[in-house]
Structure 1
Amino acid sequence: MGRRHRVWYPGATYHITARGNRRAVIFDEAEDYNKYLMILEDVRSTQPFVLHSYCLMTNHLHLQMETLKDPIQSIMKDIQSRYAIYFNQKFDLDGHLFQGRYGAQIIENTDYFLTVSRYIHRNPLEPGLVEDMADYPWSSFSSYIHGQNNPHIDPSKTYSYFLEPVHEQYRNFVETPTEKLIGEKGEILWVPH
């Protein structure tokens, strides 16, 4: 039995996840995080896409990515294989860097789009890496709440769901405890506008 094909159409948006093989480290030092982002930009120059948010953790990563004219399979294959080659050469390793195929959950409504953005940015809180998500350097969160330019992301679609001041509204949305924000059916109870 072969793998199921990924659903793709121009404009499809995904929550992409990838984990290190056997939950091993995929980012060891700042150079590695920067290299992944550099590869991402290099691939984007030939296969355009919109990155809405991201968080790179020690042994896994999250991307909220919208395709334009190239299938997600092609984009992610280029990013992941190029990074795996870099990492394996750097540490003189053989074999798979990533645990199986990357995850790609399609995002087809506003609630899920916002829930994914929030989830991605809250990721460093769970293992206690930071007390304030804005302090985590390998996430797009600080650029969202401080209005700083981050060349890797386009926050305009996310901001479009919030009233001014969008930076403060978005921060409140992400920092609100889950039990006050998400209903039993996964719907967002807090209305951003």
Structure 2
Amino acid sequence: MARQNRIWFPGATYHITARGNRKSELFHDSQDIRKYMEILKETKEKYPFDLHAYCLMNNHIHLQLETKDTSTSQIIKVLHTRYAIYLNKRYSLVGHVFQGRYGAKLILDANYFLTVNRYIHRNPVEAKLVSTPEDYPWSSYSTYVTPNKNPLVTTERTLSYFTNSNIQFFKQYTEESPDET
């Protein structure tokens, strides 16, 4: 039985997830992460999209991605195929790098958009890797709260949900555990 096509339309926003095959590591060191980010940048240049948030954990990834004229299936296919080729070549591996089909949850309202954004940025905190999202180097959080901007990340939509696009309100919202709100 063929699997169902994903819902897609220009402007659709998704929480994209992918895990290493058999929960294995996707990123062994910072060189792997930099390579993934380089391929993400090249993919974005070829198939423009807005990246609102990302977090790269050792065995899985989270992207909050808003499409323009290309479906997520095309974007992720190019991104993950190129990264799998890189990883297999670098470590002399064969076979699948990613476990199954990537996850793509459609985001249809502002509340869910913000919930996903916070979830992505809090992922390393919840995994007890760091005490605050700002301490984790492999996410988009620092783009929001420090002068160090990442040209891959679009912050305007996220910040527009806070009074006067206030970064402090965003930071407070994100750093509070969802159980505290």
The TM-score with structure 2 as length reference comes to: 0.97
Query: One-letter code of the match for 1:115?
Result: T
Structure 1 regions of 5+ residues with no counterpart? 182-193
* Residues 74-128 of structure 1 deviation map (CA, whole Å, 9 limit, x = unaligned): 0010001000000000000000000001000000000000000000000001221
Distance across 1 between alignment mates of 2:127 and 2:9: 35
Q: Is the 8 A contact 1:146 1:167 kept in 2?
A: no
Equivalent position of 2:61 in the other structure: 61
Structure 2 regions of 5+ residues with no counterpart? none
Equivalent position of 2:32 in the other structure: 32
Count of matched residue pairs? 181
The 5-angstrom pairing of residues 66-81 of structure 1 reads 66-81=66-81
Query: One-letter code of the match for 1:38?
Result: E
Equivalent position of 1:126 in the other structure: 126
Q: Alpha carbon RMSD of aligned pairs, Å?
A: 1.0
The CA deviation at 1:177 is: 2.3
Distance across 2 between alignment mates of 1:154 and 1:9: 19
Distance across 2 between alignment mates of 1:32 and 1:166: 34
* Residues 39-59 of structure 1 deviation map (CA, whole Å, 9 limit, x = unaligned): 011011111000000000000
Query: One-letter code of the match for 1:51?
Result: L
Distance across 2 between alignment mates of 1:177 and 1:28: 29
Distance across 2 between alignment mates of 1:120 and 1:105: 13
